Amino acid sequence: MFSTKKITIAIDGYSSCGKSTLAKALAQQLGYVFIDSGAMYRGVTLFAIQEGIIQQGEVNEQKLLAKLNEISLGFKFNPVSQHSDLYLNNMNVEHIIRQPEVASYVSKIAAISQVRAKLVHEQQVMGKSGGIVMDGRDIGTVVFPNAEVKFFVTALPEIRAERRFKELREKGNNTISLEEVKSNLILRDELDSTRTESPLVKAEDAFLIDTSTLSREEQLHLALQEIEKRLF
């Protein structure tokens, strides 16, 4: 169906709208590497929490910048989940970075330009040979502006909150309510879309997918159709 040329696929969009699910499915279907760039911002946030750089809800930016080169992030394939786990300074942090405490600070960390510069550089190195599907907020606009295929994914806030809430419950988190999940999502989207540094915007040449009423199979089918159209 597809040529042997290994292309770059950039997927951006709002929190919990199904970007990663679609990105993973595409990577699996095409035999590409999947990179969850949000995990990297979450990894820096976890580091800041562990080092006492975030206190009373405030990020001590100077302290974080002084320690930025002590942060080493990497992905390793997990044969059980069939996806890559994030490692922070050689520790597997895949589960802990999904916790609400990390989620509540990550947008503040992601707004710091030196943090972005470090992670964007690492992401560009990971994708330099193509054959990659990367999801995030600035992948089609900043990380890979020349990506052969770009998607911008969205869904209604209520639907996104319900999906995220269900995911957290399935992972055993019973302390957060649906309303709290929804307000965190809305706040994060607001911060991510209005920050001065690489805000979340749809790249002009990105194909829009609204996942509100589409099944996973329908989303994958639509994306594959679009890839085929753009390549041939």
Minimum Å gap between C-beta 123 and ligand DC is: 7
Least gap, CB of 16 to ligand DC (angstroms)? 7
Give the nearer residue to ligand DC in terms of CB position, either 23 or 30: 23
Between 107 and 211, CB nearer to ligand DC? 107
Task: Give the residue with the Cβ less far from ligand DC, 2 or 100.
Answer: 100
26 CB-contact burial (10 Å; exposed 0-12 / middle 13-18 / buried 19+): buried
7 vs 109, beta carbon nearer ligand DC: 109
- Please answer whether residues 112 and 61 qualify as being in contact, where contact means their C-beta atoms are separated by less than 8 angstroms: yes
Beta-strand relationship, 83-88 and 33-36: unpaired
CB of 37 to ligand DC, least distance (A): 4
List residues near ligand DC by CB under 6 A.
15, 37-38, 41-42, 106-107, 110, 136-139, 188, 192
Q: Which residues contact 202 (CB under 8 A, 6 or more apart)?
A: 12, 152, 208
Q: For residues 92 and 86, what is the distance between their CA atoms, to the nearest angstrom?
A: 6
Q: What is the rounded distance in angstroms from the CA atom of residue 221 to the CA atom of residue 1?
A: 13
- Cβ proximity to ligand DC, 38 vs 157, nearer residue: 38
